[in-house]
Amino acid sequence: MVYENLVLLVHVLLALGVSAFVLIQRGKGAEAGASFGGGASQTVFGSSGSGNFLTRTTAVLVACFFVTSMGLAVMAKRQAESLIEISVPVSTEASPIESDVPVSIVPAESDLPTE
């Protein structure tokens, strides 16, 4: 149970990280403007720009997200299997329903609506 909560916390943090890194990245069309004096050589991430760093970091976060997804799926399957294995005591002697009232499919004349 503790491991499941820990993996779930890491999973949520990875989801937020993947979302943040995807939103930070520029599209392919934004690089064309940078080549005409956009200052791409003076970025924090080096002369190659932020694309390579952000792309690799996003790929690592997505891979970790996939691993935690699979881990949570395996944990859920094990928990479901353990719930199925719990046996509920069932009485072997089934008592028939005894009633003095006869059962009929056809309604009696008194049950029919009058006009």
Confidence of residue 63 (pLDDT cuts 50, 70, 90): very high
pLDDT tens string 6-27: 999 999 999 999 999 999 987 7
Between 38 and 55, the higher pLDDT residue: 55
Between 56 and 42, the higher pLDDT residue: 56
Angle at 90 between CA 96 and CA 93, to 5 degrees: 35
- pTM of the predicted model as reported, rounded to 2 decimal places: 0.56
